[in-house]
């Protein structure tokens, strides 16, 4: 990693870094910090249409693998959908309205 990029990364929050990296590959990326050790992602992209969850997850993990390992370890939830696709309402609710943190 070049010095200029390293300085930029040091100034960014983990959430901003995740969003910037994943937006290179996916149309819509939402990042939520749940607590100090948990980052949740909701990614919507046309390329997910017709893929199983496992196939979608493999696509996303290719991008996540470019992130620093401490950030990878913080990612605890993936919601992966094609545009207009019905997503489990409980997952969406928990993403938008997280339950109280017990840490």
Contacts of 95 (CB under 8 A, 6+ apart): 30, 32, 40, 42, 77, 79
H/E run at residue 56: helix 53-64
pTM here is 0.83
Question: What pLDDT sits at residue 72?
Answer: 96
CATH 3.30.300.90 correct for 13-96: yes
pLDDT digits (tens, 9 = 90+) for 66-95: 999 999 999 999 999 999 998 888 888 888
Using the predicted structure, report yes or no on whether residue 29 has a pLDDT greater than 60: yes
DSSP the chain: --HHHHHHHHHS-HHHHHHHHHTTT-SEEEEEEEETTEEEEEEE-GGGTT--HHHHHHHHHHHHTTS-HHHHHHEEEEEEE-TT----HHHHHHHHSPPPP--
Domain boundaries, the chain: 13-96
Distance CA 38, CA 43 (A): 16
Using the predicted structure, report yes or no on whether residue 17 has a pLDDT greater than 60: yes
């Amino acid at each position: 990693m070049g010095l200029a990029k390293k300085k930029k990364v040091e100034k960014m929050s983990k959430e901003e870094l995740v969003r910037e990296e994943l937006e290179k590959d996916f149309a819509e990326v939402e990042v939520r910090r749940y607590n100090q050790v948990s980052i949740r992602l909701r990614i919507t992209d046309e390329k997910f249409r017709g893929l199983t969850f496992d196939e979608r997850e493999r696509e996303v993990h290719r991008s996540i693998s470019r992130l620093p390992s401490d950030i990878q370890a913080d990612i605890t939830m993936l919601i992966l959908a094609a545009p207009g696709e019905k997503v489990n309402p409980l997952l969406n609710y928990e993403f938008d309205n997280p339950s109280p943190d017990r840490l």
